[in-house]
Structure 1
Amino acid sequence: MPDWSYHALFRPLLFRLPGRIARHWTLEAIGGLSRIPGGTFVIKTMGHMELSPILEGQLAGVPIGCPIGLSGSLDPHGTAHRALAQFGIGYMELGPVTVREVRCDAPIERITGEEAIVYPDGYANDGADAIVARLRKGTGHRLPHFVRLTPMPGSSPREALREQQELLAKLAPYAAGFYIAGLAEGWPAEETQAYLREVRQLALAAAPGKPLLLYVPQHIPLGMLRDIAAADGWSGVVVGEARHEAGTRCIRVGGVDALAAQLERVRLLRETLGAQSAIVAAGGVQQPQDALELLAAGADSVQLHSGLVYAGPGLPKRINEAIIYDRIRDTAAPPPPSFWSNWGWMYLLGLGMMFGGVLAWLIASTTVLLPYDETFLGVSRSVINRFNGHIIHFMSHDRITLAGTMISIGIFYSQLARHGLQSGLHWARTAVITSCAVGFSSFFLYLGYGYFDPLHAGVAAVLLPMLLFTLRGLKDYPSRKPPGLRNDSVWRRAQLGQCCFVILGFGLAIGGLTISGVGVTYVFVDTDLTYMGLTAEQLAAWNDRLIPLIAHDRAGFGGALFSLAVAITASALWGVGQGESWLWWTFLWGGLPGFTAGLLIHFHIGYMNFIHLLPVYIAVMLYGIGLYLLYPFLVSRAGKVPHDDENERTILT
């Protein structure tokens, strides 16, 4: 469920459901996907959220892949932990965890205008035994767990100590570290201090060497916060994500003032604790800019909760991209590879596809058949026309659409090479190599009916070495384009445009597979035969080699269309980023030849069956709408450095 699908399709539906039901359905859906074979691969592929080594670090001595954690309250039952671990996070919080289950079925309220969530009971969890049983079975991921140990509601300090001792004994084998809670219970200050000292001693005995971080609720006064945090023995402090509603067990996560409260406490703690202690900002992050501000204020890590609900599942990836850019922006860029090292060969391959497409278009719009085609058939073009004037037109229709598709593929390859491979963008390499693998493999579809095309074989023989030369010495580098930092209207609009192109890509892929399948089996659909006014049996009876030749054209076009679809889908899934204007122009110019060829040839030969052309009309509509929606994000913001005005915040509504 990437951002483009979340904002365009799922969020409008989920936000019409009660909060608890929406959360349950969402977690069950992505959790179920992650448990089927290949499910986590699908999640990774859709989001392309691999973590860069630039993001690696430590949290209180525990190695983490990036400074982003996931709140334990977001998925308290662990339903989708395996799926959520693929979202680009570095660790997970488990908790609150109490010795016994705290059950609450009351409604969860969303305050959409403030991007806040209100939970009826901040203690709700499955209890220690159920959580240990779940961890014993395996989580399906390797992220470290920081476990938040919480007293049962209403416990006295003595009771809380016994509970913490039991929790430590049960959870120590599974925890990378602990968050120690208890400051929200309203105990007298002296009893609270004594409780914290004794908990530290218990933890040192039960889990030696594992970090202990003090979990501090938001409502603790700043003066008390400074005194408590300064006590010796803690590995760090967690600034809690929630604000407790007075006189109740309700908690409020997020909200318009959550970031300001977090920033104030993080700055105070960093001044008090110095550079050695870890600080986790467990709330207030709704967009990448929020995370950057908290990290700049002194936090070592941020945790996500309400931000994932309102901004979407792509938020960790966007934050990671912002952190990477912030860390490399003042460093020297690596020297660009030479033209002949790798990317130039793919650029030439793209030019070769464009040249071949133009040549094929010229042939298909004039003679249609090549000499070796006529030799294979044993008849000339004029003889075929005397038998049925629509057959040559139909073959021209297949070959011109193939030519337009080849030109489109060439444009995508040359652009991905020049702007993607040359810059070391991993997603561009994956896109172009996958598309090429599909394209070259589809050559064997030409043999589906026993017709070997020497021209296609020659083109493949010339282009294949270019692909092999492209694979030499490829290296991955992070993008040096300023990322989008805010959930503003331009970004939300881009999610809809991205959705259009992803759907277009998948639609073209289905079309390519269908055409290839038809080409090597039935060859024709009903509307084809209606246009020619013949049956397949009549064609075969007149010339038994005519259908194999047409099948070769159809299968070849289907394979090329699928190859183009892979390039479009990968670019739309992974490449849409603020200011990437070259990608918008690639979509524009890369789509025109294919759509122009497909529509003009049908009009020229009079093959205008509405049902036959309906997929093309839908594709053109998605293409135009997608370009319109993506333009401000990709082109209008090209070259602009994101500003850091803390007072300018855009709230999703």
Structure 2
Amino acid sequence: MPDWSYHSLFRPLLFRLPARTARNWTLQAIGGLSRVPGGTFVIKTMGHIELPEPLSTELAGLTVPCPVGLGGGLDPHGIAQKALAQFGFGFIEIGPVTVQPVHETAAAIGRYGEQEAIAYPDGYANDGLDALARRLGKGTGRRLPHFIRLRPMPGSTPREALSQQQELLARLAPYAAGFYIDGLDEGWSLADAAAYLAEVRGMALAAAAGKPLLLYLPLHLPQEMVRQLAEAVPLRSWDGVVVGDAMCEAGQPSIRVGGAGSLEAALSQVRLLREVLGARSTIVAAGGVHAPQDALALLAAGASAVQLHSGLVFAGPGLPKRVNEAVLYERLRETQAPEPPSFWASWGWMALLGIGMLIGGVLAWLIAATTVLLPYDEEFLGVSRSVIRGFSPHLLHFMTHDRITLAGTMLSIGIFYYQLAHHGLQYGLHWARTAVYTSCAVGFSSFFLYLGYGYFDPLHAAVAVMLLPMLLLSLRGWKDRPSRKPPSLTNDRIWRRAQWGQCCWVVLGFALAIGGLVISGIGITSVFVPTDLDYIGLSAEQIGAWNDRLIPLIAHDRAGFGGALLSLAVAITGSALWGVNQGEKWLWWTFLLGGLPGFAAGLLVHIHIGYTDFWHLLPLYIAVLLYAGGLYGTYPYLVGRAGHLLHEVHKGQDSQLAVKKF
């Protein structure tokens, strides 16, 4: 459920449901997907999550892939943690967990869209120690480190809490990378809280030796009490501190996550803790992150890492990826960019392959618009085009229609390949490499579709032989490099509009892929659909009876067009899924220029030959609407004023980010 589908399709529906129902349905859906074979691959593919080495972060002595964690309250029963782990997180919080289950009440969860806040009537609901130990004992199915948040039963006295924490530590130590120690919102006195923390720390050193121990501070804890606590408890002796994500009243089970004031409260707590703890202690900020700029502000204030909870509900599941991109940009922009590889080292060969496809598309269009058949086609058939025209006036027009649509598709492929090479491969972008090489693999493989009917096209084979070495040469010396372009930092109107545009492009890509598969399948099986035969005015049997080689030739054209369309669809889908980032003008122009030849060929040739059956052209009309919707929706984000504002936003962050270099 990437952002483009979440904001355009799912969120409008989910937000019409009761919050608890929407949460459970969502978690069960993505959790179920992650448990089927290939499910996690699908999730990774849709988001193309990359965690480059510069994002690696030390957290309480542990090295995590990135400084973005998943808060435990989002999935209290662990239904979808395997799926959520694929969203770009570096670590996961599990909990709170108590020795006995804390059951959810019948009261509704409050979800306040304008405030971007969630109110849980039972904020400490969990399945209890026994259930969690059984679940962890079976394995989590993921490699991310998890920190277990240990909490006393609501209403416990300090002595009862100590006994419970001892049991929790003993049972869960084999499964945890580290622990968060909770319990300071039970309304205890400062002396009782300090004694409790001192004894819990001693228990943890004995029961979970070597496991990081972080103190969990409620977000609503007054700063004066934090200062007093720091004086009463040697906080620097702990491995770190977590600033919680919930606001609540002491001793009350209801909590509020997100909303007005949560980010400001988290920033204040982080600044105070950094002042008290010094530069080296770990601080995890778990509240208030609803946009990448929120995370940057917390990191600049002194946080070592952030955790996400309500931000995933309101900003969407792409938030961890966007935060990582923002952090990566800040970490890299002060370093010198490596020299791009030479034209002849790798990417240039793919650019030449794209140019080759453009030249081939132009030649194919000229042939289809004039002679239609090449000499070896006529030799294979044993008849000339004039004889075919005499047999059926529409038959040669039908072949023109197949060959011009193929030519237009080749031109579109050439534009996409050149652009992906020049703007993606040259700069080591992994997503661009995945898109273009997967498309190439599909395109070159489609050559063998001629086996379905046995017609071997020597020109097609010669072009493939010429282009294949360019593909192989482009593979040399490849090295992934993270993007150095500034990412989007806010969830503004332009960004939300772009999600709709991106959704149009992704749907277009998948639709074209289905179309390519269907056309290829028809080409190597029945060859014609009913509207084709209605246009030609003959049955397949009549055509075959007149010349038994004519159908294999048409089948070759159809299968070739289907394979080319599928190849183009892969390039479009990969670019739409992974390449839409603020200010990437080249991608918008790639879609505009890359789409024009294919759509122009499809529409104009049908009009020219008079093959205008509505149902036959309906998929093309829908594709044009999706194409136009994508261009319209993404223009401000990729090309318009948003691209200029982006640099101003980052410039405005500089004064804050100067506080701390990541």
TM (norm. structure 2) is 0.97
Given the alignment of the two structures, is residue 303 of structure 1 paired with residue 316 of structure 2, yes or no?
no
Partner of 1:206: 207
Residue aligned with 2:533, SS: helix
Partner of 1:423: 427
Partner of 1:650: none
Aligned counterparts of 1:170 and 1:99: Cα–Cα separation in 2: 10
Aligned counterparts of 2:353 and 2:220: Cα–Cα separation in 1: 62
Given candidates 255, 261, 268, the residue that maps to 2:259 is: 255
Structure 1 unaligned blocks of 5 or more: 647-653
Aligned counterparts of 2:472 and 2:541: Cα–Cα separation in 1: 44
Aligned counterparts of 2:407 and 2:572: Cα–Cα separation in 1: 17
Aligned counterparts of 2:170 and 2:565: Cα–Cα separation in 1: 60
Partner of 1:493: 497
Aligned counterparts of 1:464 and 1:390: Cα–Cα separation in 2: 36
Residues 436-475 of structure 1 correspond to what in structure 2 (within 5 A)?
A: 436-475=440-479
Letter of the 2:90 counterpart:
G
Given the alignment of the two structures, is residue 432 of structure 1 paired with residue 432 of structure 2, yes or no?
no
Aligned counterparts of 2:189 and 2:252: Cα–Cα separation in 1: 19
Residue aligned with 1:285, SS: coil
Given candidates 507, 515, 530, the residue that maps to 2:534 is: 530
Given candidates 360, 376, 382, the residue that maps to 2:380 is: 376
Letter of the 1:317 counterpart:
K
Aligned counterparts of 2:183 and 2:623: Cα–Cα separation in 1: 58
Residue aligned with 2:87, SS: coil
Kept in 1, the 8 Å contact 2:187–2:250? The answer is no
Given the alignment of the two structures, is residue 484 of structure 1 paired with residue 488 of structure 2, yes or no?
yes
Deviation at 1:188, TM superposition (A): 1.7
Kept in 1, the 8 Å contact 2:431–2:578? The answer is yes
Residues 64-463 of structure 1 correspond to what in structure 2 (within 5 A)?
A: 64-105=64-105, 106-229=107-230, 231-232=233-234, 233-245=237-249, 248-463=252-467
Deviation at 1:193, TM superposition (A): 1.1
Deviation at 1:50, TM superposition (A): 2.2
Partner of 1:638: 643
- How big is the alpha-carbon RMSD for the aligned residues of Structure 1 and Structure 2? 1.0
Aligned counterparts of 2:145 and 2:356: Cα–Cα separation in 1: 49
Letter of the 2:296 counterpart:
L
Aligned counterparts of 1:497 and 1:8: Cα–Cα separation in 2: 9
Q: 1:494-547: per-residue Cα shift (whole Å, max 9, x none)?
A: 000000000000000000000000000000000000000100000000000000
Kept in 2, the 8 Å contact 1:483–1:642? The answer is no
Partner of 1:35: 35
Aligned counterparts of 1:35 and 1:72: Cα–Cα separation in 2: 20
Q: 1:138-165: per-residue Cα shift (whole Å, max 9, x none)?
A: 1110111111110101111111110000
Residues 496-575 of structure 1 correspond to what in structure 2 (within 5 A)?
A: 496-575=500-579
Kept in 1, the 8 Å contact 2:154–2:251? The answer is no
Kept in 2, the 8 Å contact 1:482–1:642? The answer is no
Kept in 1, the 8 Å contact 2:185–2:250? The answer is no
Deviation at 1:248, TM superposition (A): 3.3
Q: 1:351-392: per-residue Cα shift (whole Å, max 9, x none)?
A: 000000000000000110000000000000010111100000
Deviation at 1:325, TM superposition (A): 0.3
Letter of the 1:117 counterpart:
I
Deviation at 1:197, TM superposition (A): 0.8
Identity %: 72
Partner of 2:657: none
Letter of the 2:295 counterpart:
A
Letter of the 2:159 counterpart:
R
Instruction: Report runs of 4+ in structure 1 exceeding 4 Å deviation.
Output: none
Aligned counterparts of 2:73 and 2:137: Cα–Cα separation in 1: 20
Task: Pick closer, same or farther for the CA change 1:500–1:42 going to 2, 3 Å.
Answer: same
Q: 1:548-590: per-residue Cα shift (whole Å, max 9, x none)?
A: 0000000000000000000000000000000000000000000
Deviation at 1:642, TM superposition (A): 4.5
Q: 1:284-310: per-residue Cα shift (whole Å, max 9, x none)?
A: 100000000000100001000000000
Kept in 1, the 8 Å contact 2:219–2:287? The answer is no
Residue aligned with 1:103, SS: coil
Residue aligned with 1:147, SS: strand
Q: 1:454-495: per-residue Cα shift (whole Å, max 9, x none)?
A: 000000000000000000011111112110000000000000
Residue aligned with 1:110, SS: strand
Aligned counterparts of 2:448 and 2:648: Cα–Cα separation in 1: 49
Q: How many residues align?
A: 646
Letter of the 2:18 counterpart:
P
Aligned counterparts of 1:360 and 1:220: Cα–Cα separation in 2: 72
Aligned counterparts of 1:580 and 1:46: Cα–Cα separation in 2: 20
Bigger shift: 475-484 or 637-646? 637-646
Deviation at 1:249, TM superposition (A): 1.5
Aligned counterparts of 1:99 and 1:507: Cα–Cα separation in 2: 51
Deviation at 1:336, TM superposition (A): 1.3
Kept in 2, the 8 Å contact 1:348–1:466? The answer is yes
Letter of the 1:641 counterpart:
H
Kept in 2, the 8 Å contact 1:245–1:252? The answer is no
Aligned counterparts of 1:598 and 1:589: Cα–Cα separation in 2: 15
Kept in 2, the 8 Å contact 1:97–1:128? The answer is yes
Kept in 2, the 8 Å contact 1:61–1:211? The answer is yes
Kept in 2, the 8 Å contact 1:502–1:572? The answer is yes
Residue aligned with 2:131, SS: helix
Deviation at 1:51, TM superposition (A): 1.1
Deviation at 1:247, TM superposition (A): 6.8
Aligned counterparts of 1:548 and 1:63: Cα–Cα separation in 2: 60
Kept in 2, the 8 Å contact 1:435–1:566? The answer is yes
Residues 587-626 of structure 1 correspond to what in structure 2 (within 5 A)?
A: 587-626=591-630
Deviation at 1:246, TM superposition (A): 6.2
Letter of the 1:429 counterpart:
R
Letter of the 2:245 counterpart:
E
Letter of the 2:152 counterpart:
P
Structure 2 unaligned blocks of 5 or more: 654-662
Q: 1:186-238: per-residue Cα shift (whole Å, max 9, x none)?
A: 11221111111111111111011111111111221112112324532311111
Given the alignment of the two structures, is residue 12 of structure 1 paired with residue 12 of structure 2, yes or no?
yes
Kept in 1, the 8 Å contact 2:220–2:265? The answer is no
Aligned counterparts of 1:175 and 1:288: Cα–Cα separation in 2: 28
Kept in 1, the 8 Å contact 2:449–2:559? The answer is yes
Kept in 2, the 8 Å contact 1:229–1:237? The answer is no
Aligned counterparts of 1:160 and 1:122: Cα–Cα separation in 2: 18
Aligned counterparts of 1:459 and 1:104: Cα–Cα separation in 2: 65
Deviation at 1:245, TM superposition (A): 4.0
Aligned counterparts of 2:421 and 2:145: Cα–Cα separation in 1: 38
Partner of 2:46: 46
Residue aligned with 2:95, SS: strand
Aligned counterparts of 1:263 and 1:239: Cα–Cα separation in 2: 9
Residue aligned with 1:364, SS: helix
Bigger shift: 298-307 or 246-255? 246-255
Kept in 2, the 8 Å contact 1:514–1:558? The answer is yes
Aligned counterparts of 2:610 and 2:230: Cα–Cα separation in 1: 79
Letter of the 1:523 counterpart:
V
Residue aligned with 1:477, SS: coil
